[in-house]
Structure 1
Amino acid sequence: MIEASIAAVPGLIVSFLILAAVLGLPTALVAKARNKPWPLRTALAVYLAGIFAVTLLPGDAGLEPWQCDTGAPTHLLTSVSSLLNIALFAPAGFLAVQLFRRPITVAATGACVSAMVELMQSGASIGRSCSVSDLAANTAGGLIGVLAGVVWLYGRRVPPRRPMRDLVWGAALAVVGTMAVTAIFDGHITPVDLVAQDDRRRSLAESSSQAEEWITAAAKGIYGSDTEVTGSVTQKSGDRLKITAETNRGSISGWWPNKELVGAWSSNTRGDEGPLSEAEVAKAADKFARKWFPKSVAGSRQKIRSIGDGPTRAFTVAYRRYADGVMMPMRLDLTITTTARVIGFSATPTNDPALPRVTVDEAKARDLAHNETGLSTDRCVLLAQRVAGTWRPVWIVGSGKQDISIDAATGKILPGTLTP
């Protein structure tokens, strides 16, 4: 990238003047000594000095030595950096064609020079960033200059010099240069796909902004229109974002882009002295659940339990879904007052897994647990659980002292479940 060099104008000018003197003066003197036209040769040498000054001026790129950004040059004609590189190398191709009149050799040489510049940026520890995108832009700029030079020559009716030899030399140089650059890249360069990283960061930033808008709307819908978000935290998990927002009314969290709320808790946890009966609270909870958790409520059973007593009591309303008697992993628990104010909720919006057929009934599960522990059992629950990464129907049999987990499809006691 050349923006850093352009931004450092004083250092760039000094570097250019030194390199121009080092390359330009000897070129002019040698040309005059050999009775060759010197202006075009000197102009090309001075322009090459400019290229080296712009591309090799020390900077502060973030890549480590012998690393190179190998991301595909998808923004070759749209990014400012690529367009600057194209503009930098095009005049060199034009001048070289005017001087040598061998466009194919000049084009191959330009590509080799571009590759050499990128390799020096990677391995010379000068704080510059090697990039395949820059290499493509440099080469494209050289080719554009070559084509413009050929058009200019034909416009002046000056034919290329020895076209067959130009073709052979250009093709040979291209093959040898490609093999050499490929060997160096394979043997010494560590690829880093900054293009993909930038795209992921850009996508994550856009997703985070959208997630914040969604969680803010959800907070206002649950806590009230005057709710204000005071802060938020976003965590990436696979292809999803979990966003947690703190508001002046309480906290709320959910998954994006699934738009699935997973938890909320009001800052006001006291019960309200409301007029609603238990049945009316259950109806209000069901209305709330169907609005915010329609997938979880579908096919679920509602169970309500009182918290406390008196005028400020609240209720816990639980939703569970069963398939063939097996409790599915979906969970939804609401805490709601007698004014229908939802104090908080906890949700696990998991799709129902496909399970093998249950072959072990409750009586058999109790017998297996008793034989294993020698203790009588006082509770037995059949639910879906992950076992070695696979969903299985599992009996959880408890005796008050030990819990036993039994695969309800095979009758096998699962390891690691004999907990005192």
Structure 2
Amino acid sequence: MCFEGAHVIEASISAVPGLIVSFVILAVLVAVPTALVAKARKKPWPLRTALAACLAGIFAVTLLPGDAGLESWQCDTGMPTHVFTSASSLLNIALFAPGAVLAVLLFRRPVTVAAAFGALSGAVELAQSVGHLGRSCSVTDLAANATGAVLGSAAGAVWLYRRRQSPAEPVRDLVWGVSLAAVAVLAVGGVFQSRIDSVDVVAMDDRMRDLAESAAQADEWIATAAKGVFGSGTEMRGTATKKDGSRLKITAETNRGTISGTWPQKTLESARSSNARGDEGSLSEKEVAAAAERFARTWFPRNVAGSDRRIRSIGDGPTRAYTVVYRRYTDKVMMPVRLDLTITTTGRVIGFSARTVDDPALPRVTIDEAKAKTLAEDATGLPADSTSLLAQQVKGEWRPVWWVGSGKQDIAIDAATGERIAGEG
């Protein structure tokens, strides 16, 4: 009976080196003296010996050092969906049920036995949490252990009933059992509440699984984007994924260059061709601008909508390239959305840099350009020679900001209040 459910116990053998040998040794050390003492006292020894062997099995499986587990004074409080049908839960039920059956047959006190084995379960989980055993304290295991204790005690009580053997002193058994259960719940619960750190391993596993699935989808998306940007014949050489808050930043290396973006937003951030030299193409500046517009509207529709476009050449001669810049303005304030493209006279995109964000709501601008220059000159004692008005995050809040340059020092001034922004420049 003690080895009922052995096929489930096999699942834990690989996680605890030397489990079978340790169990045999421990069982012999406990069972043999138990049998000898019982015989010396002229007591029935088979049930006592079997119960001792079952307890040895419980301690061997639950307390022998392993190669897994949480940190000391931590316990997994996550509850899996199939809490009583997982292999681990079945193992714990199988561990505690046989011993409870034997204890009921021996002592004929099913309620007290159920409470005692439940208390033993709590002590085991606390020992796993406190000790450096490489084992995991788990509320799920505690529930499964207690279930095994109750089922085993119930099975033992049914066996006694079928054999027409009534429980010994049922009222006293009930009082002792309920009292023991209450004390165990208060003691174990108090230690868990005051000393044990809760860790939801189930939620952590779910997050890791979701992250892995999301990373695989991100790989597929960035591979498609790379082929769309660099053209057919693009081959993936590797990807690197980094978690950034609630999103993933993914960078892909290809045979034609590097490209990066964010998932699941599906926004490209930058790309750089491994061939950054200009092409000897025949497209005019106007035709290059049109090619850049088609590319931008395909891959960056949010950046292009409502934005102004500027184009300038890089170099001269047949291999010159062009930089095409998109900026959006609201009430003359440059919004944070960005798009910079570098494109050749064949229409090949050498690279891009993009920032795709929604236009922030800004307070009204009350400081004009002349006032901003005056404030900057008063602060630095230098004449102002350049200004720009743009949306910028200041201490986590979007503000309209004047950047005023003097050639030696730039001053940032809040365009709504006229206050100098400390730490900027």
Task: Report the TM-score when normalising by structure 1.
Answer: 0.91
Task: Select the residue among 312, 331, 335 that pairs with 1:305.
Answer: 312
The equivalent residue for 1:68 is 74
- Aligned-residue offset at 1:370: 3.2
What letter matches 1:119 in structure 2?
A: L
What letter matches 2:76 in structure 1?
A: T
- Aligned-residue offset at 1:358: 0.8
Q: 1:68-217, aligned counterparts within 5 Å?
A: 68-74=74-80, 75-186=82-193, 188-217=195-224
- Aligned-residue offset at 1:305: 1.4
Per-residue CA distance 1:242-263 (angstroms, 9 max, x = gap) = 1111110000011112111101
What letter matches 1:70 in structure 2?
A: D
1:370/1:17 Cα in 2 relative to 1: closer, same or farther (>3 Å)? closer
Task: Report the TM-score when normalising by structure 2.
Answer: 0.90
The equivalent residue for 1:28 is 35
1:145/1:263 Cα in 2 relative to 1: closer, same or farther (>3 Å)? same
Q: Distance in 1 between matches of 2:177 and 2:257?
A: 71
**Contact 2:89 2:144 (C-alpha < 8 Å) held by counterparts:** yes
The equivalent residue for 1:340 is 347
1:297/1:37 Cα in 2 relative to 1: closer, same or farther (>3 Å)? same
The alignment of Structure 1 onto Structure 2 pairs a total of residues equal to 417
1:124/1:388 Cα in 2 relative to 1: closer, same or farther (>3 Å)? closer
Range with bigger deviation, 68-77 or 277-286: 68-77
**Contact 1:51 1:88 (C-alpha < 8 Å) held by counterparts:** yes
- Aligned-residue offset at 1:302: 1.4
What letter matches 1:71 in structure 2?
A: T
Range with bigger deviation, 358-367 or 370-379: 370-379
Other structure's SS at 2:259 match: strand
Other structure's SS at 1:183 match: helix
- Aligned-residue offset at 1:216: 1.1
What letter matches 2:229 in structure 1?
A: I
Q: Distance in 2 between matches of 1:189 and 1:343?
A: 56
Range with bigger deviation, 209-218 or 115-124: 115-124
- Aligned-residue offset at 1:379: 2.2
**Contact 2:13 2:20 (C-alpha < 8 Å) held by counterparts:** no
Identity %: 67
Per-residue CA distance 1:286-315 (angstroms, 9 max, x = gap) = 111111112222221111111112222111
Per-residue CA distance 1:30-72 (angstroms, 9 max, x = gap) = 44445443322322221111211222222233544x3333332
Per-residue CA distance 1:56-98 (angstroms, 9 max, x = gap) = 222233544x333333222523432222222222222222233
1:372/1:16 Cα in 2 relative to 1: closer, same or farther (>3 Å)? closer
Range with bigger deviation, 119-128 or 4-13: 4-13
- Aligned-residue offset at 1:408: 0.8
1:3/1:275 Cα in 2 relative to 1: closer, same or farther (>3 Å)? farther
- Aligned-residue offset at 1:9: 8.4
- Aligned-residue offset at 1:4: 8.1
The equivalent residue for 1:243 is 250
Per-residue CA distance 1:360-381 (angstroms, 9 max, x = gap) = 1222222322333344333221
What letter matches 1:296 in structure 2?
A: N
Q: Distance in 2 between matches of 1:324 and 1:157?
A: 93
What letter matches 2:305 in structure 1?
A: A
What letter matches 1:86 in structure 2?
A: I
Q: Distance in 2 between matches of 1:313 and 1:327?
A: 29
Other structure's SS at 2:18 match: helix
1:69/1:226 Cα in 2 relative to 1: closer, same or farther (>3 Å)? farther
Q: Distance in 1 between matches of 2:116 and 2:129?
A: 20
Return 5+ residue gaps in structure 2 as ranges: 1-7
The equivalent residue for 1:229 is 236
Task: Select the residue among 353, 357, 365 that pairs with 2:360.
Answer: 353
Range with bigger deviation, 292-301 or 11-20: 11-20
Range with bigger deviation, 112-121 or 70-79: 70-79
Q: Distance in 2 between matches of 1:191 and 1:125?
A: 17
Q: Distance in 2 between matches of 1:48 and 1:302?
A: 79
- Aligned-residue offset at 1:157: 4.7
- Aligned-residue offset at 1:323: 1.4
Q: Distance in 1 between matches of 2:282 and 2:26?
A: 88
**Contact 1:68 1:132 (C-alpha < 8 Å) held by counterparts:** no
1:392/1:9 Cα in 2 relative to 1: closer, same or farther (>3 Å)? closer
- Aligned-residue offset at 1:327: 0.7
What letter matches 2:206 in structure 1?
A: D
What letter matches 2:155 in structure 1?
A: A
- Aligned-residue offset at 1:333: 0.7
The equivalent residue for 1:44 is 51
1:398/1:8 Cα in 2 relative to 1: closer, same or farther (>3 Å)? closer
| 1:390 is the counterpart of 2:394 | no
Task: Select the residue among 366, 369, 384 that pairs with 1:377.
Answer: 384
- Aligned-residue offset at 1:113: 0.9
Range with bigger deviation, 145-154 or 111-120: 145-154
Range with bigger deviation, 383-392 or 187-196: 187-196
What letter matches 2:323 in structure 1?
A: T
What letter matches 1:68 in structure 2?
A: Q
Per-residue CA distance 1:337-371 (angstroms, 9 max, x = gap) = 12211111101112211110111122222232233
Task: Select the residue among 264, 271, 284 that pairs with 1:277.
Answer: 284
Q: Distance in 2 between matches of 1:12 and 1:363?
A: 82
1:150/1:322 Cα in 2 relative to 1: closer, same or farther (>3 Å)? farther
Query: Could you say what the CA RMSD is over the residues aligned between the two structures, in angstroms?
Result: 2.5
